Chains A and B, each alone.
Chain A
Amino acid sequence: MEALELARWQFGVTTIYHFLFVPLTIGLSFIVAVLQTVWYRTGRHEYLQATQFFGKLFLINFAMGVVTGIVQEFQFGMNWSEYSRFVGDVFGAPLAMEALLAFFLESTFIGLWIFGWHRLPRAAHLACIWLVAIGTNLSAYFILAANAWMRRPVGFEVNPENGRAELNDIWAVLSNDQAWSTYLHTVSAAFITAGLFVVCVSAYKLWRNQKHGDTGIRGVTPPKGDFALFRGTLKVGLVFTLVAGVIVAVSGDHQAKLAAQYEPMKLAAAEALWETEEGAAFSAFAVGDTEARYNPIDVTVPNILSFLATGEFDGEVHGMNNLQAAYEAEYGEGDYIPNVFVTYWSFRLMMGLGMAGVAIAAIGLWLTRGRDRTPSVHGRLTRWFYPLAVLALPAALSANIFGWVLTEMGRQPWTVHGYLLTAASVSPGVSLGTVALSLTGFTLIYGVLAVVEVGLLVKYIKAGPSHLVPDLEKDGDESKIPHFSY
């Protein structure tokens, strides 16, 4: 085993873990801001409750996203020093901008939002959560522009004197079609995830109410208000998910076309397509032989892949064998085919699980159509809808992860497509033992923190909103709005 392998594992483990929290931060900051805006505009008590309830859950998640993010910035230099040396001139710029434009905004105003409930005028306090939401979305753009550049490097030249990539057009990097297309796809997926988080929590609370007539805490009956609140938030979550679902589908289709154009090998691997074809079929289920480079079993839908990749049913899609030969001619001998098994199945799992999540939201919206209806008035349907709604969240989280596995594993053997190989990116001075130490350390700490985090989320979900926010309508005393503190 080499340090390279462990460094890749560490990048995979820490990035996947980080990305469990990021989509929720991106989407929930927005949803909480919307809930608080409604409270600000209408003064309706249940929206204050919803804001504080989902705000608490948002903060529990936010902390994890922040602290695991620092690891991401540091490990480029720690494990991938030769990558950093080669790309810093181009790749470092969006990272520095992300910190200066987005992270400061996000972290300053989250502090103001948490501790400012009684210290700021209402409008200013509301503006804080909106600035947090803008900050998180801005940060997503910069980091995705950096990632997109690795898949479609633009706006630079390799300086023959020092062998480094040197930026010559920042606008090209920031307006890269891979960047904005990836942004739309990733952020709308984040909104689906956050939408389904709200759906999952609301459905769980309604389910428990219906099943046990209690709050989940022995002997405590739920206040009537909780019921109305979660009916409302269920709907908010469903609408968010469905709207984002449309954007995810459209941008996903665009992503496939961009892959065909800039990363044909990734697309071919994602489809287990060995030979170049016109009118290529979409593979629904394949068992491949990567040694002999063909698929003994392949269940396909004719012409669909060509349509996805080119917009025409008989368009040409390149196969891995042809691309391998072309790459060898261009870049020299080597294996330019990514791990086909991982790429193929992560593509299917991303699409399948993502579509399942959105479909559940569509069903939920159908069941709750009309005024004030919940699945509970639909008799037998409720029995299966509630658990389904709860499962939608893990489906969305997994779809995100498989999307990134496809993106990153499908780009192999390159870090910067066509310019720098992963094997040439790793830190030469860092030993196997050292990477093993940090990989073990991060994995252990992340594992423990995951248990702690989920435990806290469950605790606060079970406790419910009325536990957090007393009924203000009775005495109308605003000073009783609970303030957050440590």
Chain B
Amino acid sequence: MDLAVIWFIAISVLWIGYFVLEGFDFGVGTLMPFMGKRDSVDRRVAINSIGPVWDANEVWLITAGGATFAAFPAWYASLFSGFYVPLFIILVALILRGVAFEYRGKRDDSTWRLWWDRAIFFGSAAPALLWGVVFANVVRGVAMDGDQIVTASLADLFNPYALLGGLTTLSLFALHGAVFLSLKTDGPVRTRARAAALRTACVAVPAAAAFLLWTQLAHGPAWTWPLVALAALALVGGVAAARARREGTAFGLMVAAILAAVITLFGSLFPNVLPSTTDPAFSLTVENASSADYTLTIMTWVAVVFLPLVLLYQGWSYWVFRRRVTGATVTGETVTRGSGA
């Protein structure tokens, strides 16, 4: 197969990894204020459920960005300069969120924690929404001239299709986070997370269904139809499993739903990487935006050797922290090595 096509697939794999993993920690951050009162142990339980993993989850984004820079320089250049303002807001959000996780507990002061809670909420909800807006626009295409410079205004980026995309990712990640919380915590947070899952599902299921159908009808090739169906089934099945308190199954089905949805988006985009609505001839494609074969070959070897290794040790870290987080774990009451939660 053509190396550029392989790298298109590799980059979609990185985005799948990012949305599956950071998707739930965005969701946890968004729902955290609803998991307990101000200053409560319950909020700490929610935050600590993603504590050991959120940072490595975010590296999937950095790797996707770096891989795009290396494999499709023109795509990276046009996309990042063309989506300047949404990316700027995402950066601000990620800065505040990362610092908030680390600093929130470092002062015993309820006003201090309240402000960091706000940062965690904004820092999680804003990127969850904006990634949907960005990806919907990428699939739909933007105004772009013959020099591959995006000429779309900020208002153009907030078109109905993109807003639906944003609503989809925001609600879907919230649902994903709720399911994760009910799987990874115990006590009152687990109960509230289940309730939150059922409530967010009322938005996420119709929004995702509408967005994926719109995507499929307007941009999708025939082969992504089964994926749309799979995403819908997995999503509905996930909600049903959450309702039936089968938390592990629910989480697995949510992962499947996000996976199928992201493949649908990338499948609908292919062979373009950034279509131009000004003139289809100006579109950036897998062929005209990619690096030369030498770079792609080197990158392929690096990815083949190191990506499995990353999956191995990242998977191990999830195994180490497999136990449910409870109020007692975060306050350190019953912690003993080897037997503690």
Contacts and interface: CB of A to CB of B under 8 A. Distances in A.
Interface of A: 59-60, 62-64, 66-71, 73-74, 76-79, 81-82, 84-93, 95-101, 103-105, 107-112, 114-116, 118-120, 159, 164, 166-168, 170, 427-430, 434, 437-438, 441-442, 445, 449, 452, 456, 459-460, 478-479, 482-483, 485-486
Contact of B337 (A64, A81, A111, A119): A119
Closest 6 CB pairs of A and B: A88-B73, A77-B80, A92-B70, A92-B69, A63-B102, A96-B66
A452 B68 CA distance: 34
A45 B311 CA distance: 36
A479 B338 CA distance: 10
Given A89-B70, A104-B56, A112-B320, A73 B337 contact: no
A157 to B, nearest CB: 9
Interface of B is mostly: helix
B96 A92 contact: no
Interface string B221-234: 00000000000000
Nearest to B315: A108
B81 A81 contact: yes
Contacts of B150: 429
B314 interface: yes
B73 A119 contact: no
A114 B67 CA distance: 29
B292 A456 contact: no
B303 interface: yes
Given A79-B81, A84-B76, A110-B55, A60 B102 contact: yes
B63 interface: yes
Most B CB within 10 A of own CB, among A97, A120, A441, A482: A97
A341 B302 CA distance: 43
A323 B335 CA distance: 68
8 contacts: A62-B102, A63-B101, A70-B91, A74-B91, A77-B77, A97-B302, A167-B298, A170-B295
Interface stretch (B44-52, B162-170, B207-215, B269-277): B44-52
Contact of B103 (A100, A107, A119, A456): A456
A265 to B, nearest CB: 28
A428 B145 CA distance: 12
Contacts of A459: 106-107
Interface in B85-99: 85, 87-88, 91-92, 94-96, 98-99
Most B CB within 10 A of own CB, among A100, A441, A483: A100
A173 to B, nearest CB: 10
B88 A78 contact: yes
B292 A59 contact: no
Given A74-B80, A428-B147, A103 B332 contact: no
Contacts of B102: 59-60, 62-63, 486
B76 A95 contact: no
Nearest to B69: A92
Given A63-B99, A88-B70, A108 B314 contact: yes
Contacts of A110: 55
Interface string B284-303: 00000001101100110011
Most B CB within 10 A of own CB, among A60, A99, A427: A99
B52 A434 contact: no
Contacts of B329: 485
Nearest to B150: A429
Contacts of B71: 92, 96
B73 A84 contact: yes
A411 B298 CA distance: 29
A84 B337 contact: no
Contacts of A104: 56, 59, 63, 310, 313-314
Given A90-B295, A108-B317, A486-B51, A100 B105 contact: no
Contact of A438 (B84, B94, B107): B84
Given A89-B70, A111-B317, A449 B99 contact: yes
B53 interface: yes
Contacts of A441: 88, 92
B237 interface: no
A118 B340 contact: yes
Most A CB within 10 A of own CB, among B94, B103, B299: B103
B66 A99 contact: yes
Nearest to B341: A119
A73 B105 contact: no
A15 to B, nearest CB: 14
B99 A73 contact: no
Given A70-B91, A84-B73, 10 more contacts: A73-B66, A85-B73, A92-B73, A93-B70, A100-B63, A100-B303, A105-B313, A107-B56, A108-B313, A119-B337
Contact of A64 (B99, B298, B314, B332): B99
Most B CB within 10 A of own CB, among A64, A93, A483: A93
A93 B98 CA distance: 26
A166 B291 contact: yes
A485 B48 contact: yes
Interface in B111-150: 147-150
B51 A95 contact: no
A88 B69 contact: yes
B244 interface: no
A111 B98 contact: no
Contacts of A60: 102-103, 106
Contacts of B99: 63-64, 67, 449, 452
A434 B84 contact: yes
Contacts of B47: 486
Nearest to B94: A70
Contacts of B95: 67-68, 70-71, 445, 449
B43 to A, nearest CB: 10
A371 to B, nearest CB: 36
Contacts of B320: 112, 116, 119-120
A350 to B, nearest CB: 28
Contact of B321 (A74, A98, A115, A445): A115
A96 B71 CA distance: 9
Given A107-B55, A166-B295, A486-B102, A73 B73 contact: no
B218 interface: no
Contact of B51 (A70, A111, A456): A111
B60 to A, nearest CB: 9
Nearest to A478: B337
Nearest to A64: B99
Most B CB within 10 A of own CB, among A115, A167, A434, A485: A485
